[in-house]
Amino acid sequence: MEVRIQSIHFDASEQLRSFIQKKVVKLEKYYDDIKKVEVSLKVVKPETVENKEAGVKVIVPNGECYASKVCDTFEEAVDLSVEALEKQLVKYKEKQRSK
């Protein structure tokens, strides 16, 4: 599984990158055949408190799942996005089985 992390208009720290890597790898528990995961991080309107947006796209054969969250920290946003994707992947897997 390939993981691409893109930070828009800033440089993501190594610590943040490894955190994302660790979280995203756990998605393989829910669906084995994940081809690629694209994570985009951006800061929305710097003057607000909840201004860290993380969008996570999981590319699987014949489809993709996407989740995006805005939180206080990138870690929290990634956490919540991955949680949402876990549910999506479980549903996707069930759909594939019923075909």
* Structural domains counted in the chain: 1
- pTM of the predicted structure, to 2 decimals: 0.93
pLDDT for position 90? 95
Query: Could you tell me the residue range of the domain that residue 32 belongs to?
Result: 2-98
- How long a stretch of residues is the chain? 99
For residues 2, 56, 41, 16, the Cα torsion angle rounded to the nearest 10 degrees is: -60
Q: Read off the CATH number of the domain in which 28 is found.
A: 3.30.160.100
Could you list the pLDDT tens digit for every one of the 99 residues in the chain?
999 999 998 999 999 999 999 999 999 999 999 999 999 999 998 778 899 999 999 999 999 999 999 999 999 999 999 999 999 999 999 998 887
- Closest of 57, 1, 67 to residue 34, by C-alpha: 1
pLDDT for position 48? 82
Q: What is the 3-state secondary structure (H, E, C) of 28-81?
A: HHCCCCCCEEEEEEEECCCCCCCCEEEEEEEEECCEEEEEEEEECCHHHHHHHH
